[in-house]
Structures are given as structure tokens and as C-alpha cells.
């Protein structure tokens, strides 16, 4: 199948459109599994999910069953969750702590290094039976960056560090907020949405829908005397970070549990939050501390991992089930040193907006499912529009970050290398240098 013509990218005239067949076609989903999910790095999980030796967690990536664990020596490891004997999955629980895994079918046992250590009636096998060869198998690539673990099913994939490119700066801005390191809050949110998985990628980095869709949240915050009235919506804006990764960064119009006090957190929290802010300023200087405390960041790591640092921090892994059904796994991240009232404040801020019963997530789900229903008018109405901000210096309400992701999608689907960021504006109109200067060196990376 040819993937030409699915994206209309006219930089001279500032028009970017995506054919809605990309959201409904089973052939395109099959090609995405091969060309995206099996070719690049997929987010697997955070080291905080498996803290103690023997901790394990069942995972699935691109349909493959996996066991993510910390072995008895304290090292993180990953195995395919399939018995080398006859295929049964050997991990029968979502998560737990174990020194060994015993397959329930014929009772072969494996230690946390994946080695076959015991089996009933081994005398029944001949001299060619090799225990090592019948141990658990690992996917070709596992690597991490600052506690975030990624897997790749492509043995020849580039190194994770190279692949992440400019995204590491934004991971650092999140992780550096913690004094003792970042971890995940226990538990996760797992939910299904009747929509194509790419709709949630777009939505997770889209600033344009914030006010219309989430007005109930902003009205709620205001009714409690909260909300930051000085937030600057034309602050930083979107950036592409290479390889399809992209971010939307701007000053948050709400309090941030790390170090931006808001009425909503109550007067008792003020002194504590201001002390955290002073520590950030002392450690990182005024400018970087302000970015960490005052700015929100919505980032996609291509193809399907979201790191949103907004009313709280959420890591979100998105996978398709069918062209019109997606699954999301979401975790709240928190500095390890946060406990008691401080952690409660963060969790409350997380749940109120991005939790599954919060003000944002159900509204976003409704928006996505509504789009998917609308796609049934194709053919007839073929195109979705993502042109916003193509002919101006893009703001937090524009869509450069979504286009950057789609351009990488198109390259990947056509077997081309993923686009690198280049120091050129997106459209010829912006090439003259007369546009307002962007804030900070990070904005040198533009289209
Ligand atoms: S399938 Fe696992 S022991 Fe037989
Ligand atoms: Fe939203």
C-alpha cells in the first residue's frame, strides 16, 4: 500500500492537512505496527514501578507480552512473557514480587535472570536438552534515560540517547524538579477510548482545545479563588525536537504543585511551596527554576509516548487496539521526597484535571470519540486541518508540534529517515528574520 498523498503539506501557502483514512484504515494500522512500533523505541515504564529486588510488572508492547522486572541483584531487566517449553505466559499477575516464576502449565521454573532453574522429571530429556537455550528470551533492545525505560524490537535501532535527541532537555526539566529523584505514584490509570490512537497523540500536545473543551475546569478553579491571571499565552510555544518528538511549552495559567503557589493549594501550602522554589533557584538559577516552576510542558516522544508536566506530571503510553479503539496507560510522577500533605496536594492536582474522573480526561475522551464518529463521513469529507500557525511565529495555541509529529509519521511510513530539526523556519514567510526573537537558545531548533 502506498502512503503517498495522505498528508498535504504546503509550506508556501501555510496549509497542512491529513487524510482521515489514516484514522480508520486497518491496512494503515498494520503498517504502523511494522513501520513505527516495531522500528523505533517504545516507552516501557519507569524504574519507580519496580523498586525492590524481585519486583515485576506485566507489560505488553505492540501486542507482545513482556515481564519488566528488577532481578534479585537489583538490576532492571525485560523478558518476553512466553514459556520456552510450549508457549504459555508465565507471569499470571499484573505485578508483584518474586524470586522465581513457575509456569503453571508443566511447572518449569525460571529465576529473575530468566534462567531455567528447575523442571519436573528432567531425566525425560536427552543429551541435547540445553537448559540455557530454554531460558527466557529478551527483546533486542532495552535502555533508559533518567529512570524512563524504553524497549525496541529492532536490533539495529539507533541508541536511545541519539534517538531522544532534543527531548532529553525536556525530560531533564521534569526530572530535575526532584531533589531525591523522580518516581511514580503507586498505581496507574488504564482506560480505553473509541478513537484512533493518533487522535490522543494530537490531543495530548494540543493547546488550541484547552479553553473551549476544559472551560469547566477553569471555571471551577476560578470559583475557588484560584487561577494565575498573569499567565502569558504567547510565551514560549511549540518546538520540534527531532525524530518526530515535539513539545509545547508555555507559562501555566494554573498553580503547579512543584513550586508555583496558587490560592487553590490553600494558605498553609504557601510557605512550603515558596521554599521549594527557593531551592530550585539556588540550584538551577532564576531562569531555569522559573521554567521548571511556572511553565507547563506537553511533549510527545515519537511514536506514542507522552510526558505532560501541567497541573501535575503524567506519563502516558498510548497503543492502538483497532483503528477506532485505543488503550492508554497513565502514571502520575512525583519527586521521591514528596510525602504527606505535599504528595496529597500533587495527587489532588493530578486527579482533578487529568485523572480519569477529572475535569480534563472525560472531556478529551468525548472530543476524540466525537472526531472518530465524524470520520465516518469519509469519503465525502476527506481532510483534517492542522495548519494553525504555519505562517507566523507559532504560539502555544498553534500546531507546529502536531505537524512535526505527522511529518515523522509520514517519513516512517514511507521508509524514510525521521526528520531532524533544522535551523530554518517552517515557511518562507518566516525566513526573513523579521519575526520576534524566541526566548532562549532552545528555540534555535525550528523548522
Ligand atoms: S508451557 Fe510452560 S512448562 Fe510447559
Ligand atoms: Fe485536553
Per-residue model confidence (pLDDT) at position 225: 85
Percent of the chain with pLDDT over 70: 92
Per-residue model confidence (pLDDT) at position 446: 38
Please tell me the distance between residue 209's alpha carbon and the centre of ligand 2 in angstroms.
Answer: 7
Instruction: Please name every residue paired with 59 in a beta bridge, in sequence order, or none if there are none.
Output: 66
Q: Sheet containing 116-118: which strands, arranged edge to edge?
A: 100-102, 109-111, 116-118
Task: Assess whether pLDDT exceeds 60 at residue 436.
Answer: no
120-146: average pLDDT: 96
Per-residue model confidence (pLDDT) at position 224: 87
Question: Is the CB of residue 394 less than 8 Å from the CB of residue 400?
Answer: yes
Q: Is the CB of 261 under 6 A from ligand 1?
A: no
Least confident residue range of 2-6, 26-30, 54-58, 360-364: 2-6
Task: Assess whether pLDDT exceeds 80 at residue 430.
Answer: no
Task: Assess whether pLDDT exceeds 80 at residue 238.
Answer: yes
Measured from the Cα of 107, ligand 1's closest atom is 3
pTM score above 0.85: yes
Task: Assess whether pLDDT exceeds 50 at residue 439.
Answer: no
Q: Can you tell me the distance from the alpha carbon of 85 to that of 137, in angstroms, rounded to the nearest whole number?
A: 12
Least confident residue range of 202-206, 265-269, 370-374: 265-269
To test ligand 1's pocket by mutation, which of 65, 84, 101, 105 has the most ligand atoms within 8 angstroms of CB?
105
Number of C-beta neighbours around residue 292 at 10 A: 24
pLDDT bin (cut points 50, 70, 90) of residue 98 is very high
Q: Can you tell me the distance from the alpha carbon of 133 to that of 149, in angstroms, rounded to the nearest whole number?
A: 26
Ligand nearest to the CA of 366: 2
Per-residue model confidence (pLDDT) at position 253: 87
Strands 237-242 and 189-193: unpaired
Question: Is the CB of residue 411 less than 8 Å from the CB of residue 432?
Answer: no
Per-residue model confidence (pLDDT) at position 433: 40
3-state secondary structure of 206: coil
Angle of the 167-175 helix axis to the 286-294 helix axis, nearest 10: 80
11-15: average pLDDT: 94
Show contacts of 281-285: CB within 8 Å, 24+ apart.
Answer: 283/176, 284/176
Question: Is the CB of residue 356 less than 8 Å from the CB of residue 327?
Answer: no
Task: Assess whether pLDDT exceeds 90 at residue 321.
Answer: yes
Q: Is the CB of 134 under 6 A from ligand 1?
A: no
Amino acid at each position: 500500500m502506498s502512503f503517498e498523498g495522505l498528508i498535504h503539506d504546503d509550506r508556501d501557502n501555510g496549509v497542512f492537512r491529513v487524510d482521515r483514512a489514516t484514522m480508520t484504515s486497518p491496512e494503515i494500522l498494520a503498517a504502523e505496527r511494522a513501520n513505527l512500533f516495531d522500528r523505533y523505541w517504545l516507552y516501557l515504564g519507569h524504574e519507580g514501578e519496580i523498586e525492590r529486588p524481585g519486583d515485576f510488572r506485566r507489560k505488553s508492547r505492540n501486542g507482545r507480552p513482556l515481564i519488566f522486572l528488577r532481578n534479585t541483584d537489583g538490576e532492571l531487566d525485560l523478558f518476553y512473557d512466553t514459556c520456552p517449553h510450549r508457549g504459555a505466559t508465565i507471569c499470571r499477575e499484573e505485578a508483584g514480587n518474586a524470586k522465581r516464576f513457575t509456569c503453571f502449565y508443566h511447572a518449569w521454573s525460571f529465576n529473575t535472570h530468566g534462567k531455567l532453574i528447575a523442571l519436573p522429571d528432567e531425566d525425560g530429556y536427552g543429551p541435547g536438552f540445553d537448559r540455557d537455550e530454554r531460558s527466557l528470551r529478551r527483546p533486542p533492545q532495552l535502555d533508559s534515560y533518567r529512570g524512563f525505560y524504553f524497549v525496541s524490537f529492532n536490533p539495529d535501532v539507533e541508541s536511545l540517547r541519539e534517538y531522544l535527541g532534543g527531548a532529553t532537555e525536556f525530560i531533564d526539566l521534569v526530572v530535575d524538579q526532584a531533589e531525591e529523584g523522580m518516581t511514580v505514584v503507586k498505581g496507574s490509570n488504564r482506560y480505553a477510548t473509541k478513537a484512533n490512537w493518533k487522535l490522543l497523540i494530537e490531543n495530548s500536545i494540543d493547546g488550541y482545545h484547552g479553553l473551549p473543551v476544559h472551560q469547566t475546569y477553569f471555571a471551577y478553579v476560578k470559583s475557588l479563588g484560584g487561577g494565575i491571571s498573569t499567565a502569558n499565552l504567547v510565551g514560549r510555544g511549540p518546538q520540534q525536537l527531532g525524530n518526530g518528538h515535539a513539545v509545547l511549552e508555555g507559562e501555566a495559567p494554573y498553580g503547579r504543585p512543584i513550586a508555583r503557589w496558587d490560592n487553590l493549594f490553600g494558605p498553609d501550602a504557601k510557605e512550603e511551596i515558596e521554599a521549594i522554589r527557593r531551592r530550585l533557584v539556588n540550584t538551577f538559577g532564576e531562569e531555569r527554576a522559573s521554567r521548571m516552576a511556572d511553565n507547563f510542558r506537553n511533549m510527545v516522544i515519537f511514536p506514542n509516548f507522552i510526558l505532560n508536566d501541567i497541573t501535575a506530571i503524567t506519563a502516558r503510553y498510548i497503543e492502538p487496539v483497532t483503528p477506532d479503539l485505543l488503550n492508554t496507560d497513565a502514571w502520575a510522577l512525583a519527586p521521591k521526597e514528596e510525602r504527606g500533605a505535599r504528595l496529597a496536594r500533587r495527587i489532588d492536582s493530578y486527579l482533578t484535571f487529568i485523572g480519569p474522573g477529572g475535569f480534563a480526561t472525560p472531556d478529551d475522551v468525548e472530543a476524540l470519540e466525537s472526531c472518530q464518529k465524524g470520520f465516518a463521513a469519509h469519503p465525502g469529507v476527506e481532510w483534517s486541518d492542522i495548519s494553525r500557525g504555519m505562517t507566523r511565529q507559532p504560539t502555544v495555541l498553534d500546531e507546529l508540534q502536531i505537524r512535526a509529529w505527522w511529518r515523522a509519521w509520514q517519513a516512517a511510513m514511507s521508509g524514510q529517515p525521521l526528520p531532524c530539526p533544522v535551523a530554518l523556519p517552517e515557511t518562507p514567510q518566516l525566513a526573513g528574520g523579521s519575526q520576534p526573537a524566541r526566548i532562549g537558545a532552545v528555540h534555535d531548533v525550528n523548522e
